[in-house]
Chain A
């Protein structure tokens, strides 16, 4: 496992291997090692966003592909016609459905992140404090679900939460309830699904922060008369902070754009922006509208996250 802390994103600086540069001033080997991945990312990562932006300014049409061209030209009559349609964006802000979906995605992702943190912390703490042999076993128990299919882990909860599922059967047979609880296809199921599938992403960075912590600090605090709870909030939590931040980012970011979990566990009223985009595209076949949703999502959600992460990376580098 390598997704541990934000420091992995920090560029390796101060390399004394600068000789690489001197040795190959104009060197095709060096050039192609830089150019090949760069070209790949330019064509298949950067240019697609320009295409999305372009199509978000067109209109739907019954055609293949189902949108109108922005540029229209006819060389014989010598005219070029540029038509930009801002209607998709106006509609996004007029219809409260989309704004609600954005806000509700952020709310669901934030609440789930907090619960993931609360469940992951004891696990990470126990692993970090256990003997080295048990530690390896417990760590692999956390990592194992991560390597199994995400889709199947979400699916496993369908069998648990549905009306005649295992939880209801159990509660009915013990007489705790006499009516089956409706749990599947609710927001509750979505929270469970997010916490469950993203738990390893939170445990691992927390563990790597807690493992580095010097346990004698806690002993010193105890000797000086600090209560366990005080020591926990004044020593353990601040020491674990890098892990807490990294873990929260690793959970919150993918959870905001989640599609599979709300689609399988959520109800028809569970609004999440990833699902809205999917439906615009696959159900309504409205490619320009789906593109406009994607552009706004990129500006409102992804850019701020990248900026926060970059500034964090710089702090850690210093």
Chain B
């Protein structure tokens, strides 16, 4: 028994090292004074200064944040509607179709989604004159489309775990469907809606392939700028950017964990 757990712990620890070693190296080398990424030239914050002076990266980051914020917000509304309809409405014409369409973007390769949306936008522009050219709005439409699928899946799985008696009680007491949704169902599924928003925000911020297809000239998002820089080789500014991103995510995940632990303790107290 003991030997087996030693073997298990060793392999699992190696797995964690595999997961974290490249990220730690990235963080350490972002403080490297030397331009040559592999030669250690002493500690320095030089590349952070360079990063904030790089207008191309800053502009792209601002554009990406704007797109991610709008896309996530729209995707949450549409995805929640779809998830709600699929788990709470009984049979209607087209339910199977909606279920298929909402889960398909989850398995669709990004290159296909990107290409097909671009060709749609081009065809629409030819037919109706809209959207005239491609840019921020076409990227947002594309991101909403694939993010809403993830939101719908999250909301749907939360609704299926939910105790329906609360909703039934509200209905028995005469709540209208709209107030039933906003006063009872929505607060109950709020954690799922929030994690759907966060997931959509991250995926939109991270998307290179789809945005590359549907964006127009002069509308480079952050991943597009990073990709073109990185393709030419390792860049110290990108190391600095990655470090900032890892720091933000680490703070976020730690905060979420702390919050969850506090809630669990509260529940324990109430139960006891």
**Residues in chain A within 8 A of chain B (CB atoms):** 1-4, 7-12, 15-21, 23-24, 27, 29-30, 33-34, 36-38, 40-42, 44-49, 51-52, 55, 65, 119-120, 122-123, 125-127, 136-137, 140-145, 147-153, 155-160, 162, 164-166, 169, 196, 199, 228, 253-254, 256-260, 263-264, 274, 277-278, 281-282, 287, 290-291, 294, 297-298, 301-302, 305-306, 309
Measured in the bound complex, the distance between the Cα atoms of B104 and A51 in whole Å is 17
Measured in the bound complex, the distance between the Cα atoms of B15 and A264 in whole Å is 23
**Within 8 Å of chain A (Cβ to Cβ): is B60?**
no
Chain A positions within 8 Å of B168 at CB level: 16-17, 19
Q: Provided the pairs A44-B117, A294-B112 are in contact, do residues A199 and B19 lie with their beta carbons within 8 angstroms?
A: yes
**Within 8 Å of chain A (Cβ to Cβ): is B183?**
no
**Within 8 Å of chain A (Cβ to Cβ): is B120?**
yes
A122–B23 touching, CB < 8 Å: no
Measured in the bound complex, the distance between the Cα atoms of B170 and A17 in whole Å is 11
Q: Provided the pairs A20-B89, A253-B107 are in contact, do residues A156 and B145 lie with their beta carbons within 8 angstroms?
A: no
Measured in the bound complex, the distance between the Cα atoms of B123 and A257 in whole Å is 25
B19–A152 touching, CB < 8 Å: no
Chain B positions within 8 Å of A264 at CB level: 227, 230-231
Chain A positions within 8 Å of B209 at CB level: 259-260, 274, 278
Q: Provided the pairs A8-B153, A11-B87, A259-B110 are in contact, do residues A23 and B177 lie with their beta carbons within 8 angstroms?
A: yes
Q: Provided the pairs A41-B102, A44-B117 are in contact, do residues A150 and B206 lie with their beta carbons within 8 angstroms?
A: yes
The smallest C-beta distance from B146 to any residue of chain A, in angstroms, reads 9
Give the bracket for the number of chain B residues in contact with chain A.
35 or more
**Within 8 Å of chain A (Cβ to Cβ): is B62?**
no
Q: Which of the residues B90, B108, B110 comes within 8 Å of A18, measured between beta carbons?
A: B90
Chain A positions within 8 Å of B84 at CB level: 33
The smallest C-beta distance from B161 to any residue of chain A, in angstroms, reads 9
Measured in the bound complex, the distance between the Cα atoms of B25 and A256 in whole Å is 28
Measured in the bound complex, the distance between the Cα atoms of B220 and A70 in whole Å is 33
Chain B positions within 8 Å of A151 at CB level: 206, 208, 223, 226-227, 230
- A-B residue pairs, 4 tightest by C-beta: A257-B109, A48-B116, A156-B22, A12-B87
**Residues in chain B within 8 A of chain A (CB atoms):** 1, 4, 8-9, 11-12, 15-16, 18-23, 25-26, 29, 37-38, 78-79, 81-82, 84-90, 92, 94, 97-105, 107-112, 115-117, 119-120, 122-123, 126, 141-142, 144-145, 148, 150, 152-154, 156-160, 164, 167-168, 171, 177-178, 192, 195-196, 199, 202, 205-206, 208-209, 212-213, 223, 226-227, 230-231, 233-234, 238-239, 241-242, 245-246, 249-250, 252-254, 256-257, 260-261
Question: How many residue-residue contacts, CB under 8 A, span A and B?
Answer: 281
Measured in the bound complex, the distance between the Cα atoms of B199 and A122 in whole Å is 27
Measured in the bound complex, the distance between the Cα atoms of B144 and A140 in whole Å is 27
Q: Provided the pairs A136-B260, A149-B205 are in contact, do residues A19 and B11 lie with their beta carbons within 8 angstroms?
A: no
B208–A309 touching, CB < 8 Å: no
Measured in the bound complex, the distance between the Cα atoms of B177 and A168 in whole Å is 64
Chain B positions within 8 Å of A120 at CB level: 15
Chain A positions within 8 Å of B153 at CB level: 2-3, 8-9
Measured in the bound complex, the distance between the Cα atoms of B159 and A152 in whole Å is 34
Q: Tell me if B's interface is mostly helix, strand, loop or mixed.
A: helix
Measured in the bound complex, the distance between the Cα atoms of B29 and A313 in whole Å is 46
Jot down 28 A-B pairs with beta carbons below 8 A, ordered by A: A3-B153, A8-B154, A8-B156, A16-B168, A17-B168, A36-B78, A40-B144, A40-B145, A41-B98, A41-B148, A47-B120, A51-B116, A51-B123, A123-B12, A140-B256, A141-B16, A141-B20, A145-B23, A148-B246, A150-B206, A152-B242, A158-B230, A257-B111, A258-B109, A259-B209, A298-B112, A302-B109, A309-B107
Chain A residue with the shortest CB-CB distance to B252: A147
Measured in the bound complex, the distance between the Cα atoms of B245 and A151 in whole Å is 12
Residue of A16, A30, A45, A49 with most partner-chain B CB within 10 A = A45
Chain B positions within 8 Å of A254 at CB level: 109-110
Residue of B12, B158, B208 with most partner-chain A CB within 10 A = B12
Chain A positions within 8 Å of B233 at CB level: 158
The smallest C-beta distance from A201 to any residue of chain B, in angstroms, reads 12
Chain A positions within 8 Å of B242 at CB level: 148-149, 152, 155-156
Measured in the bound complex, the distance between the Cα atoms of B103 and A123 in whole Å is 29
Chain B positions within 8 Å of A274 at CB level: 109-111, 209
Known: A41-B148, A258-B109, A291-B119. 7 other contacts (CB 8 A): A38-B101, A45-B104, A48-B117, A52-B116, A136-B261, A148-B23, A294-B116
Measured in the bound complex, the distance between the Cα atoms of B178 and A151 in whole Å is 42
The smallest C-beta distance from A141 to any residue of chain B, in angstroms, reads 7
The smallest C-beta distance from A140 to any residue of chain B, in angstroms, reads 5
Chain B positions within 8 Å of A158 at CB level: 230, 233-234
A153–B254 touching, CB < 8 Å: no
Chain B positions within 8 Å of A11 at CB level: 86-87, 99, 156
